[in-house]
Structure 1
């Protein structure tokens, strides 16, 4: 049994991703479970999720003093994405997973339910892009996050259904076929509810929008209610060039962080995004952001993508 186990994960802060090392120490003393390393409330609550998930997966939770460190400690950790790496590190430190089964090039991301099933999380796409840049060989993610992860080539992605399945995989009792992303290929023709061709009349406005689309200019439409401003604006993306792979990845990454990607066959953002804010929307709500200070205080709120980003 290892006294200290280490596995790798990542922290998604806004649109930036940072490597995180999850360390678990099993020591002598009264049974306890503490998490350090600037965690937020969701991570603090993961103690109960991890404990129940391990027990309900037919595994043994160590009845000793457990200390979990999320390094580096100066970066705020937020959300339930650390449930899976914490559980793996606990099982690794307790000897229930062989230390040779988990390599230094493995990355774990995922939220655990009390039954041990993995639930999808936001920000998978930027996390996988960063993992590839760091030289990761394998990344273990929730099964329901698989579609958006297929955008990244040359990385072995393991879709995991439950903690029990993952442990069986490490014990060579279950085979999980890795998925290698295909990139942005075979994009079907985009079917949109609004099309620029649907607008009848308004020739001057359509001419202005065509010039704006051709030259990437700003344009201001002004007129009485019902004159077609919104319909013209909604149809504008249909006369613009299709998004290339870099633009699709960038748009999909932003929507992934914001939790706006559909988890299914249509995980990609292939159409140029359109946003129609209400006229009473404040400038702060439109621009987005938050109080993310240099000292990374525990009460700071991470920047959230605003309308310009989406």
Structure 2
């Protein structure tokens, strides 16, 4: 007997429909899976067999053939366990095969018949809403699947519970969206940072406009301390941004049973991260850190210690907001509209310009150290800020700065002005839109030309200068970009260690 169900496989962050066909025929007992499965899909044979038997359900002593169509699309992961098992039960007459017709099913089976969470449940729910189907996913995936409006989600905890529903003996109630998490998460407060007025101001400007920021200073000056306050300064994601971010984290298997992610992500990989780990990739492409930081912050501490290849690979996503990965088995495009915050020492020993300790690096060593950051990478950084190390006396006398809550209000207000005026943050302004919304008049235009000539800015660098100036004006509530706004923006465009 033949039974069919519909599931999905992930191509990037998009769910693609897969038809699961199970045929139970007379012959020598065998269990074959075809349709370009990977190792995890092929091993579903053993999980399905053990789960059915341990759930005290019949397993046929027959020739079983499972086909995953389309046959030329690579299938991966354990999400086909549940549709295969249900088709196998339907083929034995335990319930009508027609009960599977309007369902979109995915789930991993434990050997005792319980259901485990699978990656990409929210992407499956989006496909279910698009095709007018009901999503059938493990109970642990219910919070993310329910985040999609207009789709019915059934979330059994076990194979037997799914069977009871499909046979009509015990109907499952549709899963309900979880209550939104309290947005007041415990973020480190900006008031913990003593002194460093320029660094605090640069961080506020960067987060308001979505600009890339480089913090330079000796060890212990507070570069990492500042960067780690970024999550507490970011306003909650919009509904559209939250859905995009959640889709990426779900496809990467990093959602951890949570529902819609409403807080902007903050990623801080170690400098030994591989190129594929940072940008994304692998024989079967996976999202990298730049995609997991979509609509959030990517913090790269010890910036020059990252591999040269990885840093150069950042150039395209920093400019385009996407990562295109092509492999022999698949080609995918991941969103990567992130904001870069980087931190580095001024030299290998870290004490160049430090009044309390002398630098022991030779000019050649300093040159080699700075050469790890290419001109095109530095050209994509909007603000370069010196973070000096303060003395104990300066730290103890420094007054307590503003709290994250106060700065977050200004950041949110500035972002609201940007969105109302142009529909996006200033960092994304391009071409004619930038010229329109950052129009310079009178003395401001002359100042900008002089600054660009003096600093030797490229066309890209000049555009970034205008975007930062536009953000400074938005934080002040000014409709026009004035000379004072350009002057502050220019102070953050000075050449590195000049």
TM-score (norm 1): 0.88
Does the 8 Å CA contact 1:22/1:69 hold for their aligned counterparts?
yes
Aligned counterpart, 2:278: 286
Query: Which structure's relative contact order is higher, taking Cα pairs within 8 Å and 6+ residues apart?
Result: 1
- Mapped to 2, the partners of 1:139 and 1:222 lie a distance apart of 50
Tell me, yes or no, if structure 1 residue 256 matches structure 2 residue 250. Answer: yes
Aligned counterpart, 1:168: 164
- Mapped to 2, the partners of 1:163 and 1:56 lie a distance apart of 10
Tell me, yes or no, if structure 1 residue 306 matches structure 2 residue 304. Answer: no
Aligned counterpart, 1:92: 90
Q: Structure 2 unaligned runs (5+)?
A: 293-498
Tell me, yes or no, if structure 1 residue 115 matches structure 2 residue 84. Answer: no
The structure whose Rg is larger is 2
Aligned counterpart, 1:140: 136
Residue 251 of structure 1, CA deviation: 1.4
TM-score (norm 2): 0.56
Does the 8 Å CA contact 1:286/1:308 hold for their aligned counterparts?
yes
Aligned ranges for residues 1-310 of structure 1 at < 5 Å?
A: 3-102=1-100, 104-136=101-133, 138-181=134-177, 186-263=180-257, 266-290=258-282, 301-310=283-292
How many residues of Structure 1 are paired with residues of Structure 2 in the alignment?
Answer: 292
Q: Give the superposed CA RMSD.
A: 1.8
Q: Identify the structure with the greater helix proportion.
A: 2
Does the 8 Å CA contact 1:42/1:80 hold for their aligned counterparts?
yes
Does the 8 Å CA contact 1:155/1:180 hold for their aligned counterparts?
no
Does the 8 Å CA contact 1:122/1:257 hold for their aligned counterparts?
yes
Does the 8 Å CA contact 2:187/2:231 hold for their aligned counterparts?
no
Does the 8 Å CA contact 1:190/1:270 hold for their aligned counterparts?
no
- Mapped to 2, the partners of 1:55 and 1:155 lie a distance apart of 32
Residue 112 of structure 1, CA deviation: 0.8
- For residues 109-168 of structure 1, the C-alpha deviation after alignment (integer angstroms, 9 at most, x for no partner) is 1011121111111221122112211221x1111111112222112211111111111111
Residue 22 of structure 1, CA deviation: 0.2
- Mapped to 2, the partners of 1:249 and 1:132 lie a distance apart of 14
SS at match of 1:166: helix
Q: Structure 1 unaligned runs (5+)?
A: 291-300
| More displaced stretch, 117-126 vs 17-26 | 117-126
Distance change >3 Å, CA 280–CA 50, structure 1 → 2: closer
- For residues 172-218 of structure 1, the C-alpha deviation after alignment (integer angstroms, 9 at most, x for no partner) is 21121112547xx7552332331233322111111112221222211
Residue 262 of structure 1, CA deviation: 2.5
- Mapped to 2, the partners of 1:67 and 1:156 lie a distance apart of 30
Does the 8 Å CA contact 1:13/1:302 hold for their aligned counterparts?
no
- Mapped to 2, the partners of 1:224 and 1:259 lie a distance apart of 37
